[in-house]
A and B are shown apart, each in its own frame.
Chain A
Amino acid sequence: MALKDITLGQYFPGNTPIHRLDPRTKILLTLYYIVALFTAEFLLTYALMFLALASGIAISKVGAKTILRGMKPVVLIVVITALLNLFYTPGTPILSFWIFTLTVEGIWAAFFMTVRILMLITGTFLLTYTTSPILLTDGIESLLGPLKKVRVPVHELAMMMSIALRFIPTLIEETDKIMSAQKARGADFETGNLFQKARALVPLLVPLFISAFRRADELAVAMECRCYHGGEGRTRMRQLKYTRADWAVIVLGLLGCIAITVMGHFGL
């Protein structure tokens, strides 16, 4: 059941102050954070942001282990980026061999780039770890609300996203089941060259597509039966509401952002 073990929604239910924040606050905060991360250029500003991130993780009780496990897939990208920065940044050479030249600037650039990527990933993980996918889409829909005026189908996009997220686990389970059924008839998904492997996927993909279409059809009928006709005039069961904590966090985040930009000007 290896397929089932993949966590895609990666939401960790909890009831910490971070979990309770309005999803819009968390999305806005993450956006500030990403912008600040790319404007910050110096040790002190990074240290400040790291402090903010670390306290966020501590409050959310997600656990350093989970965060580190989430890093695994990006290790290769980080290493490659670091190596490229290390050897291809022009500046004062320290040592050089063959086509590689190590520079002082390169070491700094590699260090900052690594920190930047790792902090970027950790920060966005904190958002998805503490916000359920449904709240996340609700938040995005609400934040993009003004775009409705220029006829962007915001509600429809958000609904599509919710449905997609909802059906990922179902599709994984279905894939698992069909795979087992075809294996029981001697299908072999593991051995053979690339061409054979691709061919072996046909008995898996055809039933999977058919059942996905069938599900989509059933879902559409079920939604129509309950008079769903798009976003206009639709009310919500869960209303999003900013609390005092949300405003505090938003203001604090904005101030932090301004502080980092100002500090950047003074070369800190």
Chain B
Amino acid sequence: MHPILETRKLCHVYSQGTPFEQTALHDVDFTAYAGEYLGIIGHTGSGKSTLIQHLNGLLKPTSGQVLFDGTDIWSDPAVTRQTRFQVGLVFQYPEYQLFEETVYKDISFGPKNMKLDEGEIDRRVRQAAEFVGLTEAQLAKSPFELSGGQKRRVAIAGVIAMEPRVLILDEPTAGLDPVGVDAILGNIRDYHQATGATIIMVSHSMEEVARTVERLVVVNDAVIPFSGTPREVFRHGAELETMGLGVPQMTRVFLRLRQLGVDIDPSVYTVEQARDAILAAKGVG
């Protein structure tokens, strides 16, 4: 697999040289491969937000490198700017960054900054709106007339419209009702399948990432203690608990069953897998 984004020995220290000095990242080696659906988990203050802000050059490393397609993104200001367009970043609660008179104009803010021509901007805005399920009529509305969930979709469309090769989303489902959560996750999955872009989703909900991502990176106390497929990561159940992250409910049930002496595979994390594992254990499946 081709690594699209890499960090090498990435360190970031906030307020260096003051009494408020704080190390947010320490010698982090992180890799995202082209086309994968990657999850980053960590509790509040673990350094995950600092990490993603390095990936598109919003924060400059205190030391270490960030490579996009093998090039150091800080090697040249033009490269840094290009990286911002290639690596789209959707912040937490992105609906608070909307500012234009109409939804259409707000989505076109990114493409306009890329200096694309009118026709291309129009195509991208409409396509991005379609990905997130916004209707033609909504494009002409003021973003402030929409509901919370709709506003969030507008904000996500604003980043998708830049057609980034890597799309990073920081807790895209925070504060939404279950229907809204499913809709947003569905939109992201559709985008991933249709464009083949790399998706990096930051979350602290194990249930959510377990359902969606192909690979997981755990961030804790400024380092990455482990990464791998959800199945591999959830084997570290006990360590995850001490990090305050916890494992999906199904995994917890199965870990406990094992402790009780039931011979069963503990690396399950969805209801379907649980069903199969139980059937296998009973010798039915």
Say which one of B93-101, B183-191, B208-216 lies at the interface with A.
B93-101
- The reply on B88 being an interface residue by CB < 8 A is yes
Residue B162 lies at the interface, judged by CB distance under 8 Å to chain A: yes
| Given known A-B contacts A181-B91, A184-B89, A207 and B110 have beta carbons under 8 A apart | no
B residues 94-148 near A (Cβ < 8 Å) are 94, 96-99, 109-110, 113-114, 144
B96 & A184 in contact (Cβ 8 Å cutoff): no
**Does A5 have its Cβ within 8 Å of any Cβ on chain B?**
yes
Whether a CB of chain A sits under 8 angstroms from the CB of B259 is no
Set of chain A residues within 8 Å of B144, measured between Cβ atoms: 210
Taken together as a complex, chains A and B put the C-alpha atoms of A5 and B114 apart, in Å, by: 31
For A, the interface residue count at a CB cutoff of 8 angstroms equals: 20
Structural contact, A183 and B84, CB atoms closer than 8 A: yes
Give B269 Cβ to nearest chain A Cβ, in Å: 31
Instruction: Give Cα A206–Cα B105 distance, bound, in whole angstroms.
Output: 14
A187-214 vs B, CB cutoff 8 Å, 1 = contact: the mask equals 1100000000000001100110011000
Q: What residues on A are CB-neighbors of B18 within 8 Å?
A: 5
Q: Are A203 and B88 in contact (CB under 8 A)?
A: no
Q: Taking A180-B58, A180-B91, A210-B144 as contacts, is the C-beta distance between A185 and B159 under 8 angstroms? A: yes
Tell me the minimal C-beta distance from A65 to chain B in angstroms.
12
B91 touching A188, Cβ below 8 Å: no
Please name all residues of chain B whose beta carbon is closer than 8 Å to the beta carbon of A4 when the two chains form the complex.
14-15
Closest residue on chain B to residue A185 by CB atoms: B110
- Is A186 among interface residues, defined by CB-CB distance under 8 A? yes
Residue on A with the closest CB to B94? Answer: A181
Q: Say whether B252 faces chain A, with CB atoms less than 8 Å apart.
A: no
The reply to whether B91 and A177 form a contact with Cβ atoms under 8 Å apart is yes
Chain B interface residue bracket vs A: 20 to 34
| A contacts with B: majority SS | helix
Chain B CB within 8 A of A178 CB:
yes
Q: Would you call B251 an interface residue if the criterion is a C-beta within 8 Å of the partner chain's C-beta atoms? A: no
Q: How far is the CA of A187 from the CA of B81 in the complex (A)?
A: 10
Chain A residue with the shortest CB-CB distance to B115: A186
A92 within 8 A of B: no
Asked if A39 is at the interface of the complex by the 8 Å CB criterion, the answer is no
A–B complex contacts, Cβ < 8 Å, 14 sampled: A4-B14, A5-B18, A178-B96, A180-B53, A180-B91, A182-B97, A183-B58, A184-B91, A185-B110, A186-B85, A186-B109, A186-B162, A210-B96, A211-B96
Interface residues of A (CB under 8 A from B): 1, 4-5, 177-178, 180-188, 202-203, 206-207, 210-211
Q: Which 4 A-B pairs rank lowest in CB-CB distance, beginning with the nearest?
A: A186-B113, A206-B99, A185-B110, A181-B97
